[in-house]
Chain A
């Protein structure tokens, strides 16, 4: 199941684990990324708290935790090559995996149709 936040993150939900990344729209708005900082594995994230940082040539931007949970995996590939976030933000350039505190919390997030309305 795919969900979205108003902060332009996507979540792919499988068995209480959310794979999180930023949307194509967000990647387009940020422009060429040159630096990505990801959370530590094991970090406990709080919904709307800072989870990661991305930087373009021009500016740094925060990536927020979409829900409460624990980081179980991070994608080193985007740290090594931040441009992957621009080329494949909703595929290979996922940011981190989050073991959700309450899997049901995801129900409150937007589905793809609602997100498309938001950015339209």
Chain B
């Protein structure tokens, strides 16, 4: 993006500035990368207590069938994602992705059954394309972007306690539950989910009440504002994909080790087998395997190995295997962590490979994901 592009702002922009955030352009928005606490402490605070993130740049979209029936909206969306949407119970959400005709990933998203409609949350960078994709392909449905709503993420072991100050019923929710809630009389939609590997919540708030709710949550001494820098290191330690880095239109869900996101109903022999773009390839890879896989990578030394570092079988850089797609220093792991793609011959945990960093070949070990133990409340 060039410097002349006018950045969009979220309803919490003024709050970020008042908290002393360092702002950066991200997916067309002026977003807080860190606050005065700094990336390292923000990361560790989230794992130890509670962190509040502004994720309002993401797209919140309502999909409602003109018939008013949930099943019609679900079946329409199933034509774009390899996920069981019809079987999703009211008040529950699940992870999915839009696939293309090549069986690759257009975007990943969260999908919720809201009774008579679907609520989907998509990535900021893909928002416009996803909206166009849904409007063009969801037959018999109205597709509406909720552009008057902010989205907050409250993550960490004390997230429930912090949210309970505003809304005591939160304790009834389990991982991936979604429900309406009044947070100090502000009508919100709360889901028990997130992108940190910790227990936590995402809270959809009317834009004009977003700062009020955010400030009320931040009043709790356990809760700190957390920027995009720590959001990235938290999700990487948790083994979660970042669209555009770890998954994109060159990776299939099976290559990306995301086969857990496909339910039985959409797989071979299921009630609604296939019927999504790229089904032949994706179901074929499920049955027969694929040539490469997304894996965790643990550098053996102290140097972080960043995205696009080339991976080799040998320490001389002769036999290229693939590349790192995300890499950083993991504050909780207290060392560098990474993810990348390797041929199945080199994808087993414990396999040693070498990453090219500044002309040197640094040893890395294929590691099981996630790098931390998630604390989701199941």
Q: Which A residues lie at the B interface, using CB under 8 A?
A: 31-32, 34-35, 37, 53, 55-60
CB pair A58–B303 under 8 Å, yes or no, is no
Q: Which residues of A contact B358 (CB under 8 A)?
A: 37, 53
CB pair B233–A57 under 8 Å, yes or no, is yes
Among A31, A55, A56, A57, the one with the most B-chain Cβ atoms within 10 Å of its Cβ is: A57
CA distance A60 to B34 in the complex (A): 17
CB pair A58–B302 under 8 Å, yes or no, is no
Q: Which of B3-11, B37-45, B151-159, B180-188 contacts A (4 or more CB under 8 A)?
A: B37-45
Enumerate the 3 nearest inter-chain pairs by beta-carbon distance, A residue then B residue, closest first.
A32-B40, A34-B329, A57-B39
Q: Which residues of B contact A53 (CB under 8 A)?
A: 358
CB pair B229–A60 under 8 Å, yes or no, is no
Whether A57 touches B40, Cβ cut-off 8 Å, given contacts A34-B329, A35-B329, is yes
Look across to chain B and name the residue whose beta carbon is closest to the beta carbon of A83: B40
Q: Which B residues lie at the A interface, using CB under 8 A?
A: 33-34, 38-41, 43, 229-230, 232-233, 302-304, 306, 328-329, 331, 336, 358
Whether A55 touches B304, Cβ cut-off 8 Å, given contacts A34-B329, A35-B329, is yes
20 contacting pairs across A/B (C-beta < 8 A): A31-B229, A32-B39, A32-B40, A34-B40, A34-B304, A34-B329, A34-B336, A35-B303, A35-B304, A35-B329, A37-B303, A53-B358, A55-B329, A57-B40, A57-B230, A58-B39, A58-B232, A58-B328, A60-B304, A60-B306
CA distance A43 to B331 in the complex (A): 32
CA distance A53 to B33 in the complex (A): 22
CB pair B34–A31 under 8 Å, yes or no, is yes
Look across to chain B and name the residue whose beta carbon is closest to the beta carbon of A57: B39
Look across to chain B and name the residue whose beta carbon is closest to the beta carbon of A29: B22
Look across to chain A and name the residue whose beta carbon is closest to the beta carbon of B328: A57
Report the minimum CB–CB distance from A30 to chain B (whole Å): 10
Q: Which residues of A contact B39 (CB under 8 A)?
A: 31-32, 56-58
CB pair A32–B38 under 8 Å, yes or no, is yes
Q: Which residues of A contact B34 (CB under 8 A)?
A: 31
Using A31-B229, A35-B302 as known contacts, list a sample of 6 further A-B pairs with CB atoms less than 8 Å apart, ordered by residue number in A.
Answer: A32-B40, A32-B41, A35-B336, A56-B39, A57-B230, A57-B329
CA distance A72 to B143 in the complex (A): 66
Report the minimum CB–CB distance from A76 to chain B (whole Å): 13
Among A31, A34, A55, A59, the one with the most B-chain Cβ atoms within 10 Å of its Cβ is: A34
Report the minimum CB–CB distance from A35 to chain B (whole Å): 5
Q: Which residues of B contact A55 (CB under 8 A)?
A: 303-304, 329
Report the minimum CB–CB distance from B334 to chain A (whole Å): 9
Q: Which residues of B contact A35 (CB under 8 A)?
A: 302-304, 329, 336
CA distance A58 to B229 in the complex (A): 6
Q: Which residues of B contact A31 (CB under 8 A)?
A: 34, 38-40, 229
Look across to chain A and name the residue whose beta carbon is closest to the beta carbon of B303: A35
Look across to chain B and name the residue whose beta carbon is closest to the beta carbon of A82: B302
Report the minimum CB–CB distance from A45 to chain B (whole Å): 16
Report the minimum CB–CB distance from A8 to chain B (whole Å): 17
